[in-house]
Amino acid sequence: MKQDLAITVDAVVFAEENEHLYLLVIKRKNDPFQGKWALPGGFLEEDELLHTGCLRELEEETGLQLKEMQQVGIYDEIDRDPRGRTLSIAFTTKLQQRKEIKGSDDAEEAQWILLDNLKELAFDHHKIINDALEKLQITR
């Protein structure tokens, strides 16, 4: 039986200030995981490249405009999204300081959280964050 396959993109944005490492997260406005913290991201549009989609979702949900991010990996666990079969491609970057952000679109709120204070996140975002830290060679 053929099933629909969704493709999403996630942005893992770190900022280092005063020897503290921050992570940009959003509070989800919609189900699944409504009200939970997550990485900015969303569904890829049919006519866009992965990298472009990630930058678009990041800007739509947080107001943050970036030009470049590097790919972290592909996340394809069968049950990673309760809505159905979803592949996610994650991208990451590290900024020299936190930038102004504002939750918008599918994000009820956007916030810079100290990485050490990170609690429960939606989906498999903890794994994605750990892989991004490794990709950027950041040690905590």
pLDDT value at 56 more than 90: yes
What are the DSSP E strand ranges found in 4-134? 6-17, 20-28, 37-38, 41-43, 70-75, 86-95, 107-114
pLDDT in tens, 10-42: 999 999 999 999 999 999 999 999 999 999 999
The total of structural domains in the chain comes to: 1
Q: Is residue 140 part of a domain?
A: no
Matching residue, tokens 């809505």: 83
pLDDT value at 44 more than 70: yes
Task: Give me the active site residues, please.
Answer: 109
Q: What is the mean pLDDT of the chain?
A: 95
pLDDT in tens, 80-108: 999 999 999 999 999 999 999 999 988 99
Q: Range of 50's domain? A: 6-135
Per-residue pLDDT band at 2 (split at 50, 70, 90): low
pLDDT in the model for residue 1: 53
- Are 101 and 116 spatial neighbours (Cβ–Cβ below 8 Å)? no
Q: Is residue 84 part of a domain?
A: yes
Q: Is residue 125 part of a domain?
A: yes
Q: Is residue 85 part of a domain?
A: yes
- CATH label of the domain that carries residue 56: 3.90.79.10
pLDDT in the model for residue 136: 97
The CB density around residue 63, as the number of other CB atoms within 10 Å, is: 16
pLDDT value at 7 more than 70: yes
Per-residue pLDDT band at 139 (split at 50, 70, 90): confident
17: β partners: 20
Q: Is residue 119 part of a domain?
A: yes
